[in-house]
Homo-oligomer: A and B are copies of this chain.
């Protein structure tokens, strides 16, 4: 049963190469720094980080393939008995310097239990600081197209799951404008792997057109401060709620690779509230109430 593992790992590492090469090309200035690491319990990963680029203030595109002992807490959350689990995936987060360019996140992963049971999880979501409806539509339409090739119900289910997952409960607002999210996707390995590959291959086409559209738009100190405050919400979500972060911390993963998702510079200001009628308030209103972004 173990021949699935190298196949998947090879795909994720190839995707990592393609995505990093493209981001370096688009960024023009930044280069990814690579760190290869080993997990104490088996396996390891390839971490690639870009910092202080032309477009990307900070970003990471990581792959890992580890065998790790599940803690009782994690086993309970996964509804399996404590055991050694195989986890292989790609995880990426891009934090542009411009507040006009949204932050993007994607993660695709394969998990396998000792008895050979397996599932896929993953998704991609967008976190704008200023809302451009055409960008949100473009992003969602890409994921709908991918989903529709496999299963008509996927997009609606995974869009809803994304809105529910990337929800900052204590703020009563979403982290961003969503995308797709799925977990415990079980079934025929070949079909599911095809679907996940299509998702991975689609990421650049969902995000780069938005980067290209927005990269040259002007912005100033007001927009920057708003971005720093919104990045605080990103941190709150990732450290308080994100399962992937928790999984990494609980399985004693490589901390710097797990926390690469945190933005480079962040502000917490007491009771910051946008003025009514501003673009900042418009973003918040969309984060309070998820929308349907598919043109009918």
Contacts and interface: CB of A to CB of B under 8 A. Distances in A.
Interface of A: 33, 35, 49, 51, 58, 60, 169-171, 228, 232, 235-236, 239-240, 249, 255-256, 259-260, 262-271
A272 to B, nearest CB: 9
21 contacts: A35-B271, A49-B270, A49-B271, A51-B270, A170-B255, A171-B255, A232-B262, A235-B235, A235-B266, A236-B239, A236-B259, A240-B240, A240-B249, A259-B268, A260-B270, A263-B268, A264-B268, A265-B265, A265-B266, A265-B267, A266-B267
Contacts of A268: 58, 259, 262-264, 266
Given A235-B239, A239-B239, A240-B239, A270 B256 contact: yes
Contacts of A33: 270
Contact of A266 (B35, B60, B266): B266
Q: Copy number in this complex?
A: 2
A252 to B, nearest CB: 8
A120 B289 CA distance: 41
Q: Which of A35, A170, A232, A270 has the most CB of B within 10 A?
A: A270
Contacts of A260: 270
Q: 5 shortest A-B CB distances, which residue pairs?
A: A239-B239, A262-B268, A49-B270, A266-B266, A256-B271
A278 to B, nearest CB: 19
Contacts of A270: 33, 49, 51, 58, 60, 256, 260
Nearest to A236: B239
Given A170-B249, A239-B239, A264 B269 contact: yes
A236 to B, nearest CB: 6
A37 B171 CA distance: 17
Given A171-B255, A239-B239, A264 B267 contact: yes
A244 to B, nearest CB: 14
A270 B95 CA distance: 13
A263 B265 CA distance: 12
Contacts of A266: 235, 265-268
A133 to B, nearest CB: 28
A261 to B, nearest CB: 9
Nearest to A237: B239
A270 B259 CA distance: 8
Contacts of A169: 249
Contacts of A255: 170-171
A240 B236 CA distance: 9
